[in-house]
Structure 1
Amino acid sequence: MALDADTQSQLLETIRSFVDERLIPAEAEVAETDVIPESIVADMRALGLFGLTAPEEFGGLGLTMEEEVLAIFELGRAAPAFRSMFATNVGIGMQGIAIDGTPEQKAKYLPRLASGDLIGSFALTEPEVGSDAGSVRTTARRDGDDYVINGTKRFITNAPHAGLFTVMARTDPAQKGAAGVSAFAVERGTPGLSLGKPEKKMGQQGAHVCDVIFEDCRVPATALIGGVEGQGFKTAMKVLDKGRLHIAAACVGLSDRIIEDMVAYAVGRRQFGRPLADFQLLQAFFADSKAEAYAARCMVIDAARKRDAGQNVSVEASCAKMFASEAVGRIADRNVQVHGGMGYIREYRAEQLFRDARLFRIYEGTTQIQQIIIAKALATDARERLGM
């Protein structure tokens, strides 16, 4: 249900204050320690950030897609690791159950996910399966009233903290494509489920990923999301379309933050007797960055509104994710250049945000996967128009 204008304004104002007063001041500490302080996580829970999109009947705020991206524009201004802590609950770690789960699954998991007492994680990627979700090799073999899961998932966000994994596994070996994939809700501590060591990453310190390993992991048949085999790929695509808009919004928020940092530094830094901001070549950086961030914002809002109206936005979500993630990379690079030698020094944060931004072009589907999705859709539309 959409919020009224006053409530929405108050929510965004509260989030902006939280970002400015709590998150941005803690960025250096998190980058150095690779840990988000528990006091900040507790504040996130208290603000309801883990339940932004959970249905109201299960304790969430039930934000629409447009409301969600507006909130993420604000939250995205802080280093991405903070958003990552609750984003799996808001998106891919919870939405599969919220969209396609049985009433029993929703009642069991959604209230705890919405409160942040339970961290959700989305286990799709594998050592040899990345953006090609239909090529999942992890298997789930039916054995009486249970399924036995075997396989390894890789680069799983929040896995070290997760209490619940949405796992994509192949239930029908005869079906080599997407039709044979099903989704399961697997709880931490289930015998046969183990975790690899957390990966050391290029950026986004404080956001943790690791392998999730299934070795004869036995789960009850009630763990099958929706109670129907072969629907996992469809569930994943519903979740990923929404997730791509969320990531695009995060890219917009980070772009806005970097532009603020870039211009503020250029206004305060003097060379050749005048502020850097007076030099036209640098002014071109500012203008290009602002135009790209604004274009990305408009794309995200347009796609979010279409999704809220019930339209299929797979192409729009891919366009927004591709453009916004590429744009934030360019903006982060310009910021380092404007800072000059200081941009290479950790104290000024430009280098950290540059490294943080790089991941956006990879997860939730690489830029190249988005290009393929968009191009295939265009070709399909053309064939239909031409009767081919």
Structure 2
Amino acid sequence: MTAAPIVRDMAEQLDQERMILDSINRFLDRDVKPYAQHLEHDDIYPEEIVERMKEMGLFGATIPEEYGGLGLAPSTYAAMIERIARVWMSLTGIINSHLIMAHVVNKMGTDEQRQRFLPVFATGEIRGGLALTEPDCGTDLQAIRTVARKDGDGYLINGTKTWISNGIQGSCFALLVKTDTTTQPRHKGMSMFIAEKRDGFRVSRKLEKLGYKGIDSAELVFEDYRVPADCLIGGKEGTGLQCAISGLELGRVNVAARGVGVAQAALDESIKYSQQRSTFGKQIHEHQAIALKLADMATRTEAARLLVRKAAEALDRGDRCDLEAGMAKLFASEAAIENSLEALRIHGGYGYSKEFIVERLYRDAPLLAIGEGTNELQRLIIAKRLIEQNPI
């Protein structure tokens, strides 16, 4: 390919990104900012906002256009998620968990599964998420105990999943199970199903959280839940862990972008407040202690943004990006935590008040260090990939 088509493709992507982000900004200003604080504090699911998100096609953001989605590149999607997280991070989870499920079906599913499910995922007619975590296992997915056993022309599934985003409001989930509990290594006995809610699949309870409110996190119970064989993703057993990993690549870039959004929001609020609040006869940004905090917050945010962009662009190219995504997720989530704490300190007593959004940022940020693989796990992945890339 010559330089001209490459430049033209890049220009077209930038134009598309600008149009998408302009539309997102208008949506946030009109439909989210006036209501986010109330909905978050009362832990109310934002039904009207979700309907608007459906109309905008956001539930099909990364789903290919041939299936009715927007077909956004991961880098454009990451920029979109950053913007939304700056206003209300919970909305990004409602989208992300759903799109991870769609990503798994698109990447690992059969042609029939893509044709059947992706169009209704794209419209938001069917929404859901990823069901991996269990009460006795989080990071160690190979230790799951939910089991699917063949029964005639389908499978019977029994087990419990917990901390499942969209668990109550969602109606369909990419469900990780064991189809063989004896094989070694353990991951070869894992499979993933497209599981729609019906008899045998129930929500046992809503899980209360420190932050990340408005989006429902639930415990799901499967009791002789019957699923047809044609809902086995990819049409064969033993690929469950690969399905989960393929989804988490996009998920980690999303969480990293959320981190940038929260870090930027904390910085924005701090810059504004430091020019409104005065002590000892001058605005507080003129005090060196505050100025140094603002400088560190800004540098931290921009560094996180660049790491996210690098990881998202690797996904754009279809490259393996567990190293880049791990670095981005690790740094951006820690940036969100540090910036939210610094914002609270800059605001002083007001930062501890529910009148200001910095207390919400302070409650939301810790989730990012846990979700889509803990930051401790990210460090192990990063170290492992470094050794693989630099053998002696």
Same fold (TM over 0.5): yes
Is 1:86 matched up with 2:89?
Answer: no
Secondary structure at the aligned position of 1:375 is classed as helix
Distance 1:210 1:38 in 2: 17
Aligned sequence identity (%): 36
Deviations 1:234-289 (A, max 9, x none): 01111111110111011111211111111101110111111111111111111111
Aligned to 2:379: 371
Aligned to 2:141: 133
Aligned to 1:9: 18
Secondary structure at the aligned position of 2:87 is classed as coil
Q: How far is 1:348 from its partner?
A: 1.1
Choose 6-15 or 256-265, whichever is displaced more.
6-15
Choose 55-64 or 69-78, whichever is displaced more.
69-78
Aligned to 2:76: 67
343, 357, 367: which one aligns with 1:349: 357
Is 1:278 matched up with 2:286?
Answer: yes
Distance 1:182 1:136 in 2: 11
Is 1:103 matched up with 2:103?
Answer: no
Is 1:153 matched up with 2:158?
Answer: no
**Gaps (5+ residues) in structure 2?**
1-8
- Do the aligned residues in 1 keep the contact of 2:98 with 2:130 (CA within 8 Å)? no
- Do the aligned residues in 2 keep the contact of 1:66 with 1:301 (CA within 8 Å)? yes
Give 1:155-174 correspondences, 5 Å limit: 155-174=163-182
Q: How far is 1:160 from its partner?
A: 0.2
Q: TM-score, normalised by structure 1?
A: 0.95
Q: How far is 1:4 from its partner?
A: 3.8
Distance 1:37 1:329 in 2: 25
Is 1:311 matched up with 2:333?
Answer: no
Aligned to 1:223: 231
Aligned to 1:359: 367
36, 42, 46: which one aligns with 2:51: 42
Is 1:258 matched up with 2:266?
Answer: yes
What letter corresponds to residue 131 of structure 2 in structure 1? A
- Do the aligned residues in 2 keep the contact of 1:89 with 1:114 (CA within 8 Å)? no
- Do the aligned residues in 1 keep the contact of 2:45 with 2:216 (CA within 8 Å)? no
- Do the aligned residues in 2 keep the contact of 1:185 with 1:223 (CA within 8 Å)? yes
Q: How far is 1:378 from its partner?
A: 2.3
- Do the aligned residues in 1 keep the contact of 2:205 with 2:218 (CA within 8 Å)? yes
Aligned to 1:247: 255
Distance 2:143 2:385 in 1: 20
What letter corresponds to residue 186 of structure 1 in structure 2? A
What letter corresponds to residue 354 of structure 1 in structure 2? Y
- Do the aligned residues in 2 keep the contact of 1:69 with 1:304 (CA within 8 Å)? yes
Distance 1:228 1:354 in 2: 44
Is 1:237 matched up with 2:237?
Answer: no
What letter corresponds to residue 240 of structure 2 in structure 1? G
- Do the aligned residues in 2 keep the contact of 1:51 with 1:61 (CA within 8 Å)? yes
Aligned to 1:267: 275
- Do the aligned residues in 2 keep the contact of 1:135 with 1:178 (CA within 8 Å)? no
State the aligned residue count: 382
**Gaps (5+ residues) in structure 1?**
none
RMSD across aligned positions (CA): 1.4
Distance 2:171 2:266 in 1: 34
- Do the aligned residues in 1 keep the contact of 2:270 with 2:347 (CA within 8 Å)? yes
Aligned to 1:207: 215
Q: How far is 1:349 from its partner?
A: 1.6
